[in-house]
Amino acid sequence: MDAATNNAIIEGMAYEKERQGPPEGFPAFPRIPAGRYLDPDFLELEHQYMWRRSWLYALHTDELPEVGSYRLWDRMGSPILIVRAGDNDFRAYYNTCAHRGAPLVQNESGRRKLFVCPYHGWSYDLQGDLKAVRDPRDFVDFDKSCHKLKQIRCEAFGNWLFVNEDLDAAPLLESIAPFPEHWSTLDLDNIAHIDSATYVIDCNVKVLLDAFMETYHLASIHQMTVNRFLDHLGTYIQLFPRGNMLMVTPQRSPDWKDPGAKGMPRIETATEVQRVHNPSYHFFPNLVAPVSDSGMPFLAFWPIDSRTMRIDSHWFAPREAVGHENWDVRISNWTHILEEDTQFAPDIQKSVESGGFQGLALSYQERRIYYWHEEVDRRIGVDRIPEHLRVTPVMAPLVQA
């Protein structure tokens, strides 16, 4: 994040704090149709054209410590094998033998020199090449090079690996722009994996994802926690192409420090915004990452079915912070805030399914939610969406090139 961007954000927060209403000419939002949260056909369109064709956070390279280390990753219905194939060579394959479709591995993690199918013994190297088949005499005109593991896209941002089932997708770093430039002051090569946890919540994934795209709820849900140190009235928002977004909320006091991060190593090159305030990045479609000079959590939101979702919570920090005595306190505080956010989700789901829910009526503060839905329609293709389930695009004038 260069000085000009840092200063523009600080000025933007000051403007938001003092404004008396939305900017002149800002449109009234059309209601977001309720069926986008309920209609099984629409949810299937999301799955096929948005979730399975987006860059999705998978894991940190620390979780693949040696050549041959693998992780079995399954968040969108296709079991994917992510492998360290070389010192700096990370690959992702469908966990599917090219013979008759059996899974190659069943453990969530491990280390292999070869992946051997337990069903009929076909074996593959770390580059996905078929090395041997059992009883080769019985295969006519058989060319092993035509039977590789099917590879999917796997690319890195810093030490974080993302996957994408769309082989024609734009490169990761292009797709998440301008975040690589913003994070260039955070010494990404030195960021280590600290902790991961998973929570299953009884609601549609968008019910909770919506909550992390606005600060309108802070004064109600987080009265004794986040609202004590963040001033939601000063929240400044930037919208970028491809559905990526930034939301920066100012600290009520510039001297406030996270008590859980006391004594932890700091990233000396972090900017004022990253040191003092709360910049929360949204990697479309489902990754929320509030950064600071002492580390950053990742929250990844995943649909399980129309009424159930999963949150993966990951913590990262400068490598010197690994094993620091304050992590138990810091993660405990973070978990408490997550519990505040998720406590009403099952009841909200029941209300959403009732006849009383007619859709979302959003304010200027909640404009990131509307922009997210616009991007969903762009990913699906508006012609595939029934007219009564579309959102009217109005946000283009606010998107920064």
Q: Give the mean model confidence (pLDDT) for residues 306-334.
A: 96
Query: In sequence order, what are the residues at sequence separation of 6 or more whose Cβ sits closer than 8 angstroms to the Cβ of residue 354?
Result: none
Mean pLDDT, the chain, integer: 95
Could you tell me the residue range of the domain that residue 60 belongs to?
Answer: 56-159
Q: Are residues 130 and 7 in the same domain?
A: no
366: domain CATH number is: 3.90.380.10
Q: Are residues 242 and 280 in the same domain?
A: yes
Q: Are residues 118 and 209 in the same domain?
A: no
Q: pLDDT (tens digit, 9 = 90+) per residue, 199-208?
A: 999 999 999 9
Task: Report the percentage of the chain scoring pLDDT > 90.
Answer: 92
Using the predicted structure, report yes or no on whether residue 119 has a pLDDT greater than 80: yes
Q: Give the mean model confidence (pLDDT) for residues 313-337.
A: 96
Output the CA angle 198-277-10, nearest 5 degrees.
135
How far separated are the first and last CA of the chain, in Å rounded? 16
Q: Are residues 114 and 62 in the same domain?
A: yes
Q: Tell whether 166 is covered by a domain.
A: no
Q: pLDDT (tens digit, 9 = 90+) per residue, 51-81?
A: 999 999 999 999 999 999 999 999 988 999 9
Query: For residues 103 and 97, is the Cβ–Cβ distance under 8 A?
Result: yes
Query: For residues 241 and 375, is the Cβ–Cβ distance under 8 A?
Result: no
Residue 82 backbone phi and psi in degrees, to 5: -105, 125
Comparing CA positions, the residue from 283, 288, 317 lying closest to residue 215 is: 288
Please tell me the distance from the alpha carbon of residue 330 to that of residue 328, in angstroms, as a whole number.
Answer: 6
Predicted local confidence at residue 77, as pLDDT:
87
Predicted local confidence at residue 253, as pLDDT:
86
Q: pLDDT (tens digit, 9 = 90+) per residue, 152-185?
A: 999 999 999 999 999 999 999 999 999 999 999 9
Q: Give the mean model confidence (pLDDT) for residues 306-331.
A: 96
Q: Are residues 12 and 67 in the same domain?
A: no
Q: Are residues 339 and 387 in the same domain?
A: yes
Q: Are residues 104 and 244 in the same domain?
A: no
Q: pLDDT (tens digit, 9 = 90+) per residue, 225-245?
A: 888 889 999 999 999 999 999
Comparing CA positions, the residue from 257, 226, 233, 250 lying closest to residue 339 is: 226
Segments of 233-329 assigned E as strands: 236-239, 245-249, 278-283, 287-290, 296-305, 308-318
Q: Tell whether 196 is covered by a domain.
A: yes
Q: Are residues 93 and 42 in the same domain?
A: no
Task: Report the percentage of the chain scoring pLDDT > 70.
Answer: 100
Q: Tell whether 164 is covered by a domain.
A: no
Please tell me the distance from the alpha carbon of residue 192 to that of residue 186, in angstroms, as a whole number.
Answer: 12
Q: How many domains does the chain have?
A: 2
